[in-house]
Chains A and B, each alone.
Chain A
Amino acid sequence: MSLLEIADLSVAVAGRTVIERLSLAVPAGSLHAVMGPNGSGKSSLAKALAGHPAYAVTGGSVRLAGRDLLALAPEERVHAGLFVGMQYPTEVPGVNNGEFLRLAANAVRRARGLPERTPSEFAPLLAAALQASEAPEDFAQRQLNAGMSGGQKKRNEILQMFVLEPSVAVLDETDSGLDIDAIKAVARAINAYRRADRALVLITHFPRLLELVQPDRVHVLVGGRLVASGDAALAARLEAEGYERFRA
């Protein structure tokens, strides 16, 4: 059984179907890429997995390590081991990033019956996460995404992933809005996060990131449906040919 199992998933927004009977199995230890043109439903998939109330699941199932993810509230999905890095992370002015990260990590620990960490216990862990994610050191003192550039917000999402240590991470266009150096840093961080007991899904429409992060599988999403799957060579073909031939 795969760590993340999406079976026949359909999603609607305001009555309009945006994902249609999508099935995807991501085993532990692997990294899958979901690619597709603008408007193909990539972000809808991420939002539905994260439990956004506007993205109604109209059919199918999603299991994380065998647990029915769709039966869980957004925060419970995180406690179960899911992390969805957003394409446009929400700005939360007035909330200190470092303090937020501690509260979030503690919420996950509490839900798992583990003791919460005090600020002094958390500080070295945060320092290690900052280093591993290659996030700028001042991120702990910043506000949560407020006042950050688009690229900084993406890097903050990666930092959050390292703090929350999910078993399944879905990263929605983490590479968009990043300059070349930042893409390389994010790619190194993603590679560092890969582990035999973790599964990652990268959503992107540029193959550039996939030259730096070798995917085990590449899936093509067009019009809300998976129209092709293959190995890393598929990403290279997309780079050369575009998405046109997959359109109905």
Chain B
Amino acid sequence: MSGSALELPSSALEDWRYVDCRPLAASPASQATVLPGRPCAADAFPEPSDATHRWALAGERRAVQPDCGQLLLEDRGGCWALLVELAPRQRLRLCVRRHPAAGRSASWLHCRLAAGSCLEIRDEHEQPLGVHLAAWSVELASDATCALGVVQRGGLLQRQRLDAQLLAPGAEARVVRLAALDGARQAHLLARVTHAVGPTRSRQLAKAVLADAARSSFDGLIRVLPGADGSDALQRDHHLLLSPQARADSRPQLDVRADEVQAAHGATIGRLDAEEQLYLRQRGLPVAEAERLLVAAFLAEAEEALP
């Protein structure tokens, strides 16, 4: 992987403060991801604003204007950057899965949504190994909608940066994260939603369950720019810790520069409710089954909201 010549991200960076980057240096190089579309010049991409982005741009760059409703992408590793453009009122579902042999990857995905178009992204990592960094962004024109879903169940280390820019009235973005981690796995989500104008709407929902010595962070920002009156934004982050060694960090942020705005956030980090667990046991469920049921109940809302 050519990224080895580049500077690795480090937790000294503000946006990487919760990430233990050590597995990154230790993970093996892997095969390259096969990308759809045509080769694309470097200047077609915005300037790198993030360590992942810089890293990803060192690999293959392609652009695609999909002519079908669904695009499946298997992340086999390496550095890659993909530009996706949707025509007005076009609908696309993009699914990204990690290949079992993908050692490490750094990806950058940028989607431009024309008026009235609709994009669903579902990024799933359920492989036992792998180190994956992703910086994905979406620009939405008027009445465009996107739903960005991240499922983090595997991998040694994964960090997803999701950036949604609501650039015109009627645009709507939904970010959903579901993480269930055990062992020494780490998963991080950095979500940035910008309301550049109003009326626009955004929803962020993150739920993570951590067992053993797993680590997770949610770093979410709602930014409402001056004049973006009529913006409606909500962000919720909930962590459930199943072990005393598990660690969760939550950083919900609001930066609101307009007056007529609805913006709210909420974050919790908690443990299983002892009374709930006892009640289930007093109805015959063994401890482990009661715990499974409560974990499933905790995740159910995110499960249902995932695209």
Question: How far is A78 from B300 in the complex, measured between Cα atoms in Å?
Answer: 27
Residue in B closest to A53 when the chains form the complex, CB atoms? B278
Interface size on A, residues (CB 8 A): 28
Which of the residues A91, A94, A95, A104 comes within 8 Å of B284, measured between beta carbons?
Answer: A104
Name A residues whose Cβ lies closer than 8 Å to a Cβ of B.
Answer: 50-53, 73-75, 77-79, 84, 86, 89-95, 100, 103-105, 107-108, 111, 160, 164
Which of the residues B275, B282, B289 comes within 8 Å of A51, measured between beta carbons?
Answer: B282
Q: Helix, strand, loop or mixed for chain B's interface?
A: helix
Binds A, one of B6-14, B74-82, B290-298: B290-298
| Sample (29) of A-B pairs whose CB atoms are under 8 Å apart | A51-B282, A53-B278, A73-B281, A74-B278, A74-B281, A75-B284, A75-B286, A77-B282, A78-B284, A79-B284, A84-B282, A86-B279, A89-B279, A90-B275, A92-B276, A92-B297, A94-B297, A94-B298, A95-B294, A95-B297, A100-B283, A103-B285, A103-B293, A104-B280, A105-B284, A107-B285, A107-B286, A107-B289, A108-B284
| CB < 8 Å A-B pair total | 64
Which of the residues B281, B286, B287, B293 comes within 8 Å of A95, measured between beta carbons?
Answer: B293
Contact with A along B131-165 (1 / 0, CB 8 A): 00000000000000000000000000000000000
Q: Are B285 and A75 in contact (CB under 8 A)?
A: yes
Question: How far is A108 from B278 in the complex, measured between Cα atoms in Å?
Answer: 16
- Chain B, interface size category, equals 20 to 34
Question: How far is A89 from B275 in the complex, measured between Cα atoms in Å?
Answer: 10
Question: How far is A183 from B296 in the complex, measured between Cα atoms in Å?
Answer: 34
Residues in chain B near residue A52, CB distance under 8 A: 278
Name B residues whose Cβ lies closer than 8 Å to a Cβ of A.
Answer: 275-276, 278-287, 289, 293-294, 296-298, 300-301
Residues in chain B near residue A107, CB distance under 8 A: 284-286, 289
Residues in chain A near residue B285, CB distance under 8 A: 75, 103-104, 107
